Amino acid sequence: MAGQRFEVEIGPVAHGGFCVARYEGRAVFVRHALPGERVVVEVTEGAEGDRFLRGDAVEILLASPDRVEAPCRFAGPGKCGGCDWQHATPQAQRRMKAAVVAEQLRRLAKIDREVVVEELPGTPDGLGWRTRVQFAIDDEGRVGLRKHRSHEIVPVDHCVIASPDVEQAGVESRAWPGMAGVEVIAATGSSDRTVVVTPRAGHRVPLVELDVPVSVLRGDGKGGTQRIHGRGHVREVALGQTWKVSGSGFWQVHPAAADALAAAVLDAVKPRPGETAMDLYCGVGLFAAPLAAAVGADGEVVAVEADAAALADASANLAGFEQVVLVEERVDRALDQAPEGFEAEVVVLDPPRSGAGRAVVDRIAALKPRAIAYVACDPAALARDTAYFAERGYTLADLRAFDLFPMTHHVECVATLVRDDR
C-alpha cells in the first residue's frame, strides 16, 4: 500500500509531529499537513489490513490560514526529517504543541487544563537557535540529516534552525570520507566551539580545518569522546555563571533555555532557607546551583546523576556550594539507598524522554516533599507520571510549557506538583 495516494480531510494535531485523518475507517497519521486542510496523502508506511497508516501530504487542496512556505529547501515530504512544522507559522506551532500537551493530560492523567506554550526570547521566527547539531555522514562523505523514521541520509549544505555560530564552522561545506557523524557544539555566552568527529570502523579522525577555531574530539558512537585538539569541554554561560560541559554532555540547545527553565523550577518549588532539596537526574548541576543558593548554608541539596562524566562536571560547577551532596547512581537506586527516615521538602526531577516511571514516582512520594518540579521533554511521559503522582496524593498545581525547539514537535514542560494535605 506504500505509495498509494488519496484525498483526506485533516483532523486534529497529535503527539509526534503529525495530524490525524481518516480513510476507509482507518486512522492516517499525516505529516506536512495542518488541522482543517484538505490534502492528497501518499502512504509512506502501512499495508492492507493494518489498523493505521502513515503518510505525507504531497498536495495541498485546501490550505490552512496558518500555512506558510517552509524556510528550508530541505524540509518537506521525503526530505530531512529534523523539522516537523516548518510549514506553519510560529504562533500556530505553539498552539499545536499546547493542544498536544492538553490532550495527553486529558487522556493519561484525566486532567482538563488550558495550556499555553511560551515563546523564548531571541528566536521570533523560530530559526537560528540550535547550538548543538549532530550531522550524519553518508557513504560518499557528504554531510546530511536523516529522513523521518529512516536511516537514509539527506545531504544538506545549510541548516536553518542551527545557530549562526554552528553554521560559521563550515562543517557542511566539507567532505568527511570515512566518518559516521560530525557534531558541532557552539557554547552560549562564550566563544567555545567544539566538533565531535565519529569515524567509521577502520578509519581515523582526519585533520580538521574549519572556518573558525574549534576544539576537536573523537566520538565513539555511544556518547563517549576523546580529546584530539583543544579543550575537552565547552564553557556555557547561564544564571550568571560559567558551566563546564564536557564532550557531548547534555546541555539545553536553545540559548535561552537554561535560564528560562531554572527560573521556572525555582518559581515552582520556592525553596526556603534551611530546607533539604533533591535534584534528580541532575546532569551538570543546572538546577542544583540555584537550589543550593536558595536553601543556603543551613540547607542541603542532594544531587543524583548516573553518568560519571556529567557528575564530574557537576562537581566542578558546584564547587562553591558546600551544602551540595553529589551522588553517582541511578535515581531509583539512590532513592532506595536513602537513610531511614530521610525526607526532602523539595524535589526537582528532569528525567530522560521516557520519564521517571511508577517506581521512581513512588520513591519520590515516600520522601513527602511539599513541592515537586517535574521538567519534561515528552508530554506523554509527563502525563503518565502525573497520574502516578496523583495516586500518591500529589496534585498538579501549575504547568508551564516552553517552545525550546521551534519548527519541531518537541515541547518542554515544567509541572508543579503539591501534596493534597499540605
pLDDT in tens, 222-271: 999 999 999 999 999 999 999 999 999 999 999 999 999 999 999 999 99
Residues placed in the known binding site for S-adenosyl-L-methionine: 252, 281, 305, 350
pLDDT in tens, 23-66: 999 999 999 999 999 999 999 999 988 999 999 999 999 999 99
List 83, 159, 282, 377, catalytic entry: 377
- pTM summary value: 0.96
Give the pLDDT confidence score for residue 206 in this predicted structure.
94
Residue with the three cell numbers 537550589: 291
Q: How many other C-beta atoms can be found within 10 angstroms of the C-beta atom of residue 235?
A: 15
Task: Select from 406, 377, 402 the least CA-distant residue to 161.
Answer: 406
pLDDT in tens, 171-184: 999 999 999 999 99
Measured between alpha carbons, how far is 16 from 410 in angstroms, rounded to an integer?
A: 8
How much is the average pLDDT of 285-305?
98
Measured between alpha carbons, how far is 30 from 141 in angstroms, rounded to an integer?
A: 32
Report the sign of the C-alpha dihedral through residues 195, 200, 204, 209, in that order. Answer: negative
**pLDDT averaged over every residue in the chain:** 97
Give the pLDDT confidence score for residue 361 in this predicted structure.
98
pLDDT in tens, 360-383: 999 999 999 999 999 999 999 999
Instruction: Identify the band that residue 421 occupies on the pLDDT scale cut at 50, 70 and 90.
Output: confident
How much is the average pLDDT of 324-338?
97
Task: Say yes or no to pLDDT of 92 above 60.
Answer: yes
Q: What percent of the chain has pLDDT over 70?
A: 100
Task: Say yes or no to pLDDT of 129 above 90.
Answer: yes
Torsion of CA 29, 31, 34, 40, to 10 degrees: -80
Instruction: Identify the band that residue 422 occupies on the pLDDT scale cut at 50, 70 and 90.
Output: low
Q: What percent of the chain has pLDDT over 90?
A: 98
Task: Say yes or no to pLDDT of 21 above 90.
Answer: yes
Domains and CATH numbers, the chain: 5-67 (2.40.50.140), 132-237 (2.40.50.1070), 256-419 (3.40.50.150)
Contacts of 230 (CB under 8 A, 6+ apart): 194, 213, 214, 215, 216
Annotation marks residue 377 as catalytic? yes
